[in-house]
Amino acid sequence: MALDERGKQLSTPELAQWLGKQQQGGKDLAFVIGGDEGLSDEVRARAALVLSLSRFTLPHRLARLVLMEQLYRVFTLLRGESYHRA
């Protein structure tokens, strides 16, 4: 999964659905966060999903934090639990 401001924006339940399908398919998943210049077209083309965490340009460390929070919520949903917005 490539994280890039030009990527697709998904809700947390939509991301959970996508990641759940990847899990069921037994696929390994790596997250690539673009730097201040973004990701190359080659990296974006090879990604199974290009995801935007925000239309804002986020500092690398903040993008990692936002990603971790979303993954926590995603895996909470995949376990059948709810979080405050579900």
**pTM, whole model, 2 decimals?**
0.83
Residue 86 covered by a domain: no
Residue 66: give its domain's CATH number: 3.40.1280.10
Residue 83 covered by a domain: no
Residues of the chain with pLDDT under 50: 86
**Per-residue pLDDT at 35:** 76
Rg (CA), the chain: 13
**Per-residue pLDDT at 85:** 60
Q: Are 5 and 56 in contact (CB under 8 A)?
A: yes
**Amino acid sitting at position 32:** V
Q: Which domain holds residue 46?
A: 2-78
